[in-house]
Structures are given as structure tokens and as C-alpha cells.
Amino acid sequence: MHWVGCASSNFRSGRPAGFKPEAVVIHIAEGSLASVDAWFNNQAAVVSAHYCVGKNGDVHQYVKEEDTAYHAGNPIRPAWKLLKRGVNPNFYTIGIEHEGHAGDVWTEAQYAASAALVADIAKRWSIPLDADHVVMHREIYALRTCPGSQFDRSKFLALVKTVPANQPT
């Protein structure tokens, strides 16, 4: 885990009263890990995620899990059944970007590192490891394919469940 941080305009310190992480949202970055580092540190971006996982398995962190990252606001035709109507999804989710583009096949290192990260997050926040709590961004925002055509959630969830308890990430 490598702490990068992000520009102050790109996240909200803390979460509104009564909100804590209840689900993880999986994204594809449409760029490199380095480009994500730069974009989230650009004051003009007004977007962020808590983490980005590189194709080589490197994990960069930009926003503390206790804080609100701007990764999944503004639901459009949401399919996610646990979405809270009229509430910004960023308030109760953790966002994870992944290096690469929507059509890229995910590397095994990227799957493994992201699975270990999600297992860790789930343990910290008592988040169930199922498709209702490991959400694809397009299930909140249907105008994008994010996290792309190659992300295999069934494979990912199976991997998450093989991560040993207490394994540091």
C-alpha cells in the first residue's frame, strides 16, 4: 500500500453523520496508475477514489476510508438494489479504481491485489462479500461501461473469499 493522497477539492473530509462504508464500488480508470495519481492531485478534477490498483498489483491510496471520495455520485438508471434513493452513493461506499481501459483483460496480479484489498476493507467495515456489496460502477451510473467488459465479478468474489484472514495488504 502506497499513500499518495489527493487534492483537497477532490474529496470530503469525513462522511455525513450516520454514514459509513457499506459497499465497495469497482471502477476502471481509463488510464495508467501514474495518470490517476496526477488527476486526483489536480485541484480541477473534483473526482477521486480511495484506491487505485495497478496492473502489476501495486495499490495506491488517495483518500482515507473514513473520508468521502468522489467516485460514484449522480446515479443514472441505477440497477444496484441497495442504492439509497436520493442519497449520494459516495457517502456509504468505498471506491476502487483499476489501472487500464474498459476493454483490457485484467492481469492476475491486479485481480489478486484488488481481492486482497477488498477482503481487508470488508473485514474492517463488516461488509458482506457478495454482488450486492461489491458493486460495478455501471450498476449506479448506466451511461458508462465502468469497470469495463473484462471484469469478472464472479471470479473476483471467489478470489476475495480465498484471501486469508489477517493478511496484511
Would you tell me which residues interact with Zn ion (CB under 5 A)?
27, 137, 146
Q: Which residue spans within the chain are E strands per DSSP?
A: 2-3, 11-12, 23-26, 51-53, 59-61, 68-69, 93-98, 134-136
Read off the DSSP letter of residue 144. S
Q: Which residues contact 158 (CB under 8 A, 6 or more apart)?
A: none
Nearest distance, CB of residue 27 and Zn ion, angstroms? 3
Of the pair 26, 163, the CB lying nearest Zn ion is at 26
The residue assigned the cell 492476475 is: 108
Of the pair 55, 137, the CB lying nearest Zn ion is at 137
95, 40 contact by CB (below 8 A) = no
Nearest distance, CB of residue 146 and Zn ion, angstroms? 3
Nearest distance, CB of residue 137 and Zn ion, angstroms? 3
Nearest distance, CB of residue 17 and Zn ion, angstroms? 27
Phi-psi region of 30 (alpha: psi -120 to 50; beta: other; left: phi over 0): left
Count the Cβ atoms, other than its own, within 10 Å of residue 117. Answer: 22
Of the pair 95, 127, the CB lying nearest Zn ion is at 95
